[in-house]
Structures are given as structure tokens and as C-alpha cells.
Homo-oligomer: A and B are copies of this chain.
Amino acid sequence: MSQPESAVPKKKVLFRGRSNAAVANSNAEGEDSPEFEPFGPMPRGLPPLAEYLDIREVNMVNDINKKEHHTSLFSNALLIVRRAQEFQIRVTFNRAYEPAKDQFLLEFVIGSSPQMSKGTYIPVFPDPEKTRAWRGRVLDSMDNMVTVGITPAPDCIVGRFRTYVAVITPFGIRRTRRDSKRDVYVLFNPWASDDAVFLKEEEERGEYVLEESGILYHGEASDISARPWNFGQFEYGVLDACLYVMDRAQMPIVNRGDPIKVARKASAAVNSRDDDGVLVGNWSGDYSFGVAPTSWTSSVEILVTYASSRQPVNYGQCWVYAAVFNTFLRCLGIPARVVTNFYSAHDNDGNLKTDIILDEAGKVDRGRTKDSIWNYHCWNECYMTRPDLPQGFGGWQVVDATPQETSDGLYRCGPASVQAIKHGQICFPFDAPFIYAEVNSDVVFYKRDQSGNVVPVKVNSTHVGRKVLTKAIGRDQYDDITSQYKFAEGTEEERTVLQKAEEYGMGRTKVNYPETDVQVEILAQEVSVGDNFKLALEFKNLSGEQRTVNAFVNGYVVYYTGVTSDEVKSKTLTVTLDPWQTERVSVDVQADDYMSRLVEQCNLHFIVTGRVEQDSQIVSAMRVITLHVPELVVKVIGEPRVSELTLVSVEFTNPFQFSLDNVYLRMDGPGLMSPKIKHFSLISPKASEIWSDSFTPRRAGPTKLMVTLDCAALRQVYSQVVVNVKP
């Protein structure tokens, strides 16, 4: 029983007395099973094996299996099946199989140190009466060929299994030599009612599992932009990259059948913090050592680069994290979608307040205001049962791979039940209070008086979590799913939920301020980058008396994270309102004010705060104006056909008075091409450039071709065209 010292791996030396075996946490590793395993001491010479079955051929029946298991779309030569659903393997022997006399079995093995009790070694006998975890039966037996039907357990491990066929003889077990071409990927199965990720409607599975192109919503709640994305979960190399993500994160193999654990682990592993995961976050504006987050078109390039370079990929921001995570989930068979929350409270670790400090005059004190509200934030939802929670909290679960500074101290988030968040039942794992705060925080305005004393003067409880959107099923439009996160404002249910959440420690700020009878609003409008425009304010006097408002209008360039860069506008207004009067006031904003100061995604944040002379009441309003960027004109020439060269052109005109340097264009499309990149070192003011290129579609059917343009002075420029590839 003594083990030689050298058998102990060096790096594990601190754990010699700690555990019997290292936890198997790599799908890529694992020993080949021996071709002959004797039962006891062998007689001299070769055993008389001739009379026993001999295996001539093993056929994985790829075409039928992949069609029935909804895995035909994968660009992958190996068999891919889904659990809880029968697939077939055809074995040819040297002679006819005689059940009364012959004994054979199929073995599926994953990772190192396989054990039956851990579900990492799975013997399947062609006999339903010998069913252990996976069921086996003879579907057909003809001449020397036996077709075996195999049904993986509905909770079995997901990943790449090694397949063996073994024959039992009185002397030992003879098995086929390892052949990686016989490996089989087993995935989650949203089509099987006893799988934890079962989804009832075929059209839902079509969108949330099989759809490769998607839309990421961003911009502002009343001025929404829709960016196309190639999830590409079936593209060549993506499935292996997804398994590598789990291997790299050292996720124990035994946990990989549980969609809760897989989603939670991946929420950590899609970002590079803590664990050298897929994407490095960067919000600095300087992307010289990688690709700008706005430049990507597809998860494919990111995942495949990660798996081949074995290094985190530069760079991501929230929608990139969400898009890559979505690919990961759909690829493994967990139904998933990207959602966008407009005005998302952040960095406050489940605190339900975002603080804005006003100075004595009522103007925002930028130096003292530290919190920020993201204009939008993207995360994912994935669909699964939650046996770890009381009934009623299955269904869509929030997961978020964007590294947030203080979510329970770690860079991962979820899964948290959307139902639980809606009902304020935030006592259940994982990270529900944090997500609840992202959609429900109050914006609290404080006034700082002379003695440094800070008192809350106004609470806006509707600004945060204004709108939650996701792409609709089968259409390029959004579904407003805000009502899945919260009850309608002012309803009885809403009050009950707030109370419930408060019981769980989500304290709210109570402010006793006089009812306001003067209101101000910044009106929504669409503005293109480079335009001069008039910011429209509407003041309303709801009282029967005259009111005079002294207001400050301030405009700032902001990152989409709500972090403020330069001030571009500052104006003081005095507006006198007659009883019950509504008055519109406009403030001129010149392109010159902001053009040289723009950062990243061209957002201007306007805040109006003011005080009513007659009674000192505070009025305030905020709005982000998203500056629309110029368009790309994408043209596909002719009718694309499978395996035929197709021409495409992309045209872009620089609308500005200044030149654009170091411009990258990217083109991509599921089933159409691998990502293509085009670089222009300079596009002169008002100049047009055309990029002509070609591609060869790989499969028939409708798909999308997407193009992005990105340079330091101009980001989030993109376009897409629907392409219907003929066979």
C-alpha cells in the first residue's frame, strides 16, 4: 500500500496529507482505459479469447443522432447528443451477437480518476434490466451488427466523454483501443422534460438555444439603440472553447451536470478577474494593447482566441461579457438570453441608494458625488429549475459576468431567480440583493449645509431600472420585460415587495420633504453626433400661486457607466411660472461645446436642479442624451449560395470636420465567414471609404451579416443585413 515518494505530484506537496486524490477538474485530461483488464492472475500464454466476441467496427451514427438531438448546426465532426434522450451506436462484431452467451457493454468515461459513483465512469449494458445511471437496449441486431440505444441520465455530467466498447470474458475485460473520433459530447437538453433546463415551447428553444445571431440593446431608455451580435455557439472550435473555460476555471467534473453550478462558475470564468477567465475588462478609453470593446462583432473570435492562446482576451465591457456568456450557455444547451437594464445602479454592494450631493445653492457637487448610475447594463438570464430553493423560483435566473467591484467581494454573480427578485424574496442564493438593488435603487439628493451637515432632500425612486429589454422571440425587436422584474409602480404589490425587501435589510431612505408643486422635465430627443441642438426643458407649476424657479442646467460628457468626464454646458436660468402654467425653455448646445471632449460612446448627461424662490422646494431632473453615430452602408451583391463566392461592400462617410485615425472595420456572420478585419489608417473629413470583400457561405437558410466600425474618436458604429443563403 506504500506509495513511492515520486508518485506524489510536486505542485500538490502541501496537500499530501490533505486528500487521497486531486479533484478531477479537467475534461481535457484523463487516462486511456486499458485494452485488457484481467480479473485475476492469468494462465501462462495467451488466453483462449478467440471464442469470445471481437469488435470490428464502432459507428457513432452521427447523421441520425445529430438531427434528433438538435445538434446538426455544430461545426464539429464528432457525435454531439443531449442527455435524457436516446441516441444510438452501431457495433459490428466478428460474428453474430448471442445475448444468452455473449456479454458486452459500452463505457463512457470523463476526466481523470473516473468513478462510477461520481458519474465519471458509466457502464451501459445493452439490457434495460441492467440499467444503472444510463439506460441501454438493443435496438436492432442483424448479421454481425448490433445497434444499441443509449439514454444518458437526465442529470448526467455535461462534457466530452471517451467511448469504449468492452467484451466480458471469463479471464477479463477486452475493450476497444481509445479513438478520439469516437468521443461523444453530452449536452444539456431543453427538449427533455426531465432535464433541469427543459423549456416547453419549440419557438422558445429556437430562439434561446438554437439562434446564433442576436441583438444587444443599449443607449438610453427613451432612445434605444440595437446592436447586432454573432453569438456563433455552433461555430468551429466554440464547443471545445466552452469546455476549456470550465477546465481553466478548475471546475470539478462532478459538478458539471448541474446547470446552477455551471452558470455560477461561468459567471466568474467569463471575466479574467480572480481566475484568468476569458475577457479582460477595460473602461479606460485606451485599448492599444487589444481590441476595443465596441469593435467586436462576435463571441466566436473571443472564445476561440482564449482557448488557443490560453490567455485572457483584451478587452470587454458589459455587453461583451454578456454576449460571450450567452454563447457559452447556448452552446452547452442552457437556454439563455441577454437583457439590458436601463439606468442600472452599480458599485453599491446591495445598498439601495445612489447618492447625489447638492451644494447650498442646489447645484450638483461633483467633487462629493461618488456614486454613478450606468446608463445601461447588460447581463444574462438562463432558464432552469431551482431544486436548491423552495418551489416557485425556477425559470429565468439572472447571471452576470461583468466584474463588479463589490458583489459579495467576488467577481461573479448569480444565478438569482427573477421571480424572487420581483417578489422581494432576496434571501435566496445567489446574489439576489445585489441584482435587486440594480433595478430598484433610489436616487437620493442630499443637500450639504454650512456646517458640513448633509441631509436628504429628495428621493427619486423611479429613475433606476427604468426599463429591462431583451430581443423578442423570432423577431428583430425588443420585448419589454420590466414587469418580470418589478410590479407596476404605485400598485399594492409593489408596496408589499418593498416592505419584504426592507425586512431583509434593504433599508430605504425616508425623507420628509414638502410636496413639490413645481416639476421640471428634460424632454427626450434624438441628436446626431456633431449636431448643434436645443435641449428642451419643461417646467410645470401645479399650484394656484406664482412660482419662480432658479435653476442650474449642467451638461457633462459621461461614460456609459455614468462616470462623468468633462463639463460641456453650464447655464443658470430663472423661470417665472403663473398659477397652473407649463413653460418650455430651451438651452442651446453647440457641437463645439462637446465634440472635442467626447469619450467612448457619445453620451451627454444633463442635470437640472433648482430651488423655488417662494418656498425653497427643490426641483430636479436628469436625462442622458445619446448622440447618434453615422451609419455604415452594407450591400451584399447578388444571391448568396452555399459554397459559392459572394461579394459584399461596406461604405462609410466621415461626417466630421476632423479626420478619423486608425479605424478598424470588422465583418462577421454565423454560417457565412470567420471574422474579417479591415484597417484604415486615416479617413479624411467628409471623405467616404468603401471596403469590398467576399465570403463563401457554409450553409443554407436565413442568417445575418454584421459590420462594425471603431476608432478612438467614434465608437458603436455598426450595421447588419439579413442574408438568405440558397442551397
Interface residues, chain A, with chain B CB atoms under 8 Å away: 1-2, 13-21, 23, 37, 39, 103, 105, 107, 113, 115-118, 123, 132, 166, 168, 173, 249, 251-252, 254-255, 264-265, 268, 274, 280-286, 346-347, 349, 351, 353, 355, 357, 366, 368-372, 387-390, 405-406, 408-410, 426-430, 433, 444, 446, 450-454, 456, 503-505, 556, 559, 561, 563-567, 599-600
Which of A117, A556, A565 has the most chain B CB atoms inside 10 A of its CB? A117
Given known contacts A451-B123, A505-B388, is B410 in contact with A17 (CB within 8 Å)? no
- Checking B347, B456, B567 against A2 with a beta-carbon cut-off of 8 angstroms, the contacting residue is B567
CA distance A406 to B132 in the complex (A): 27
Residues of chain B within 8 A of A347, CB atoms compared: 19, 23
- Checking B17, B249, B408 against A559 with a beta-carbon cut-off of 8 angstroms, the contacting residue is B17
Find out whether the CB atom of B23 lies under 8 angstroms from the CB atom of A405: yes
Tell me, rounded to whole Å, the shortest Cβ–Cβ distance linking A632 to chain B.
Answer: 24
Find out whether the CB atom of A444 lies under 8 angstroms from the CB atom of B283: no
Which of A19, A349, A433 has the most chain B CB atoms inside 10 A of its CB? A19
- Checking B14, B284, B454, B567 against A16 with a beta-carbon cut-off of 8 angstroms, the contacting residue is B284
CA distance A16 to B282 in the complex (A): 8
Ranked 7 nearest A-B pairs via Cβ: A17-B559, A1-B567, A18-B283, A17-B283, A116-B454, A387-B505, A16-B284
CA distance A188 to B370 in the complex (A): 28
Find out whether the CB atom of A452 lies under 8 angstroms from the CB atom of B406: no
- Checking B1, B19, B452 against A123 with a beta-carbon cut-off of 8 angstroms, the contacting residue is B452
The 26 sampled A-B contact pairs (Cβ below 8 Å) are A1-B556, A2-B566, A13-B286, A15-B284, A17-B283, A18-B283, A18-B561, A19-B346, A19-B563, A20-B564, A23-B406, A105-B451, A115-B454, A116-B446, A117-B355, A117-B444, A123-B453, A252-B406, A254-B349, A255-B406, A264-B408, A264-B409, A387-B505, A388-B505, A427-B428, A427-B429
Tell me, rounded to whole Å, the shortest Cβ–Cβ distance linking A15 to chain B.
Answer: 6
Find out whether the CB atom of A14 lies under 8 angstroms from the CB atom of B427: no
Tell me, rounded to whole Å, the shortest Cβ–Cβ distance linking A558 to chain B.
Answer: 9
Q: Is the interface of A mostly helix, strand, loop or mixed?
A: loop
Which of A118, A274, A504, A505 has the most chain B CB atoms inside 10 A of its CB? A505
Report the nearest B residue to A408, measured CB to CB.
B264
Which of A168, A405, A452, A505 has the most chain B CB atoms inside 10 A of its CB? A452
Residues of chain B within 8 A of A254, CB atoms compared: 349, 351
CA distance A568 to B286 in the complex (A): 65
Find out whether the CB atom of B452 lies under 8 angstroms from the CB atom of A19: no
Residues of chain B within 8 A of A387, CB atoms compared: 503-505
Residues of chain B within 8 A of A285, CB atoms compared: 16-17
Find out whether the CB atom of B409 lies under 8 angstroms from the CB atom of A117: no
- Checking B18, B23, B355, B504 against A563 with a beta-carbon cut-off of 8 angstroms, the contacting residue is B18
Residues of chain B within 8 A of A559, CB atoms compared: 17-18
Find out whether the CB atom of B13 lies under 8 angstroms from the CB atom of A372: no
Tell me, rounded to whole Å, the shortest Cβ–Cβ distance linking A1 to chain B.
Answer: 4
Report the nearest B residue to A370, measured CB to CB.
B21
CA distance A42 to B283 in the complex (A): 40
Residues of chain B within 8 A of A433, CB atoms compared: 388
Taking A1-B566, A18-B561, A19-B405 as given, write out 11 further A-B residue pairs in contact, using a Cβ cutoff of 8 Å, ordered by the A residue number.
A1-B556, A13-B286, A16-B283, A18-B284, A117-B444, A123-B453, A255-B349, A387-B505, A388-B504, A410-B410, A428-B429
Tell me, rounded to whole Å, the shortest Cβ–Cβ distance linking A125 to chain B.
Answer: 8
Find out whether the CB atom of A452 lies under 8 angstroms from the CB atom of B283: no
- Checking B113, B115, B370, B444 against A20 with a beta-carbon cut-off of 8 angstroms, the contacting residue is B370
Find out whether the CB atom of B351 lies under 8 angstroms from the CB atom of A450: no
Report the nearest B residue to A597, measured CB to CB.
B2
Find out whether the CB atom of A103 lies under 8 angstroms from the CB atom of B268: no
Tell me, rounded to whole Å, the shortest Cβ–Cβ distance linking A11 to chain B.
Answer: 12
Residues of chain B within 8 A of A17, CB atoms compared: 283-285, 559, 561, 563, 565, 599-600
Find out whether the CB atom of B599 lies under 8 angstroms from the CB atom of A388: no
Report the nearest B residue to A275, measured CB to CB.
B409
CA distance A566 to B283 in the complex (A): 56
CA distance A19 to B117 in the complex (A): 48
Residues of chain B within 8 A of A15, CB atoms compared: 283-284
Tell me, rounded to whole Å, the shortest Cβ–Cβ distance linking A485 to chain B.
Answer: 20
CA distance A409 to B567 in the complex (A): 44
